[in-house]
Structure 1
Amino acid sequence: MMLVRNDHAAHAVRVSEIASETAREYFRGRLGIEFKADESPVTQADKAVEAKVREYLQEHFPDHGIVGEEHGVQGGDRREMWIIDPIDGTRSFLSGHPLFGFLLGHLVDGIADLGVVAMPALNEVFLGVQGQGATLNGESISVSEKTQLEQAILYVNEGDKLHRDHPIVFDRLMQSGQTRRFAYDCYPHALLAAGHVDAVIDYDLQPYDFLPVSALVQAAGGIMTDWDGKPLNLSSDGKVISAATPELHTQMLQLVHG
């Protein structure tokens, strides 16, 4: 697998700036909201952000494919692709909650080698590049060294869905970690990449939700897989675990499988 080029990283950061500027124009304003077939909301902002990102990528990388949440797949047979979640956390966005993100990943043969997690309302940009490490606003970051789950800061994403669909796993989670927090979307994984959180369990995600984030977590020295410990790709089932260390990752896998 080729290492991502430095100009890809520079372009990715520029794209995140454009996306963040566009999202802020709509945030806490009057939004036109629709609901998709799965009842998840989509706003005018989602569509506007993705349109601007696609325009930029098509101009600078005309030979690359694009996968976006709102506008689908373009050039799906290309070896190199970009994957976009224009607003990760639309429910947060439309309720004025600042912990929504913008996600961008660069894929080679379906595997993410670059990931951006931008937090427009917080003016934070996390960047992870395979073989080159991870940064937050240009400053180097890395995961924690925590190895014991009972001493870990554990974030449980999509807790309501986990409780509904996997109540036994949910009960185990409620007895795990030194500190537990409920959350949604990309930010807990970004906090893990920066060393503030030790483990995150997530559920019911799409590739545009987890592939950009996985590149960031792994570039920061962490591990992000599905619940069976398999690497993430476009065909993964949307159940994911992020962990700062191999030891924590093993304990999280044991937790979900009993």
Structure 2
Amino acid sequence: MSVVELGRFMEDLAQASGKAILPFFRAQFALEDKARGGSPFDPVTEADRAAEVVLRAMIAKAFPGHGILGEEFGTEREDAECVWVLDPIDGTRAFIAGLPTWGTLIGLTRHGVPVRGLMHQPYLGEVFTGDGHSARLRGPAGERTLRTRRCTDLGQALLATTDPRLFAEGEEAERFRALEGQARLSRYGTDCYAYCMLAAGQIDLVVEAGLKPYDICALIPIIEGAGGRVTSWDGGSAAKGGRVIAAGDPRLHEAALKVLNP
């Protein structure tokens, strides 16, 4: 399959999963807490599972030798050279609240390195794509190239995170608060949409903790393709999740790392 054909296939995955998800958005549906009453609340919906079933079936048919890692149904052929990394609804809390800041994440890794990524927000009709070298947005206003914005000063940076309560109490939370205290503005609750807004030049920093591979793999090629940088808090690969920092400007990334690693 050529690069162009692969891109079209990923678009087909996005459209098919969107059709499975949208009937549930702002509607009544079954909801389960994967934390089983623990903390934090970890919801999963019928829409999550319906979309992942569709994605897995399409990938298995087109690429029977590829591996798949999905949030809802685990891993198949995890040692394969190419592994698809899927999060059918990243931002389930936003989804169940009727807020359109969730998205479907479809990533492809080769030898463990994220090489292609797509984020689809079907309600808004937006598709963000990247291959680590370039990134694009296709939406109601048309199609355009994505570029991060220049920002070297933490005091001028717009910082986003899903929820500051997700940082472990103690050193982890203290490091985040120290960084947030230097930022110009912070926003919460935007999940994968924050990373795409970083790629689009609207946000300067995204800092998270406790991520899984399916939370971040699809977003790395988009951000890097737009000129940004994504790593772990210690500057290593973010592909396995954990503590992650994304910055639109590599110089801002270095400045933020110094705060997170005093």
TM-score (norm 2): 0.91
Distance in 1 (alpha carbons) for counterparts of 2:239 and 2:194:
20
Is residue 159–residue 183 contact of structure 1 (8 Å, CA) maintained in 2? no
> Residue 26 of structure 1: which of 14, 24, 27 is its match?
24
Cα offset, 1:183, TM superposition: 2.6
Q: Distance in 1 between matches of 2:180 and 2:251?
A: 20
2:236 maps to 1:230 = yes
Matched, 1:242 2:246: yes
Aligned partner (choices 144, 148, 166) of residue 149 of structure 2: 144
Is 1:64 equivalent to 2:54 in the alignment? no
Name the counterpart of 2:83.
81
User: How much is the aligned-residue C-alpha RMSD, in angstroms?
Assistant: 1.6
Match status 1:135 vs 2:159: no
Q: Does 2:205 match 1:199?
A: yes
Cα distance in 1 for partners of 2:101, 2:161 equals 15
Once the 2 structures are TM-superposed, how far is the Cα of residue 173 of structure 1 from its aligned partner?
2.8
In the aligned structure 1, how far is the partner of 2:222 from the partner of 2:259?
Answer: 24
Q: Which residues of structure 2 form unaligned runs of 5+?
A: none
Say if 1:31 and 1:44, in contact at 8 Å, map to a contact too.
yes
Q: How many residues align?
A: 252
d(CA) in 1 for partners of 2:189 and 2:30? 25
Please give the per-residue CA displacement for 1:36-65, whole angstroms capped at 9, x wherever unaligned.
146511111000000011111111112211
Q: Secondary structure at the match of 2:237?
A: coil
Structure 1 Cα separation of the partners of residues 71 and 25 of structure 2: 19
Match of 1:94 in 2: 96
Q: Which amino acid aligns with 1:7?
A: E
Q: Deviations along 1:158-203, whole A, 9 cap, x unmatched?
A: 2122274533223313322222222341111100001111111111
Residue in 2 that maps onto 1:221 = 227
8 Å Cα contact 1:66-1:83 kept in structure 2: yes
Aligned AA (2:49): K
What is the DSSP-based 3-state SS (H/G/I as helix, E as strand, rest coil) of the residue aligned with 1:218?
A: helix
Q: Which residue of 1 aligns with 2:4?
A: 6
Local SS of the residue matching 1:188: helix
Which amino acid is the alignment partner of residue 251 of structure 1?
Answer: A
Distance 1:128 1:147 in 2: 24
Residue pair 1:157, 1:203 contacting (<8 A) in 2 also: no
Shift of 1:241: 0.4
Q: Secondary structure at the residue paired with 1:46?
A: helix
Cα distance in 2, alignment partners of residues 214 and 171 from structure 1: 24
Question: Does the 8 Å CA contact 1:162/1:203 hold for their aligned counterparts?
Answer: yes
Between 176-185 and 9-18, the greater mean CA deviation after superposition: 176-185
Q: Cα gap change, 1:66/1:175 in structure 2, threshold over 3 Å: closer, same or farther?
A: same
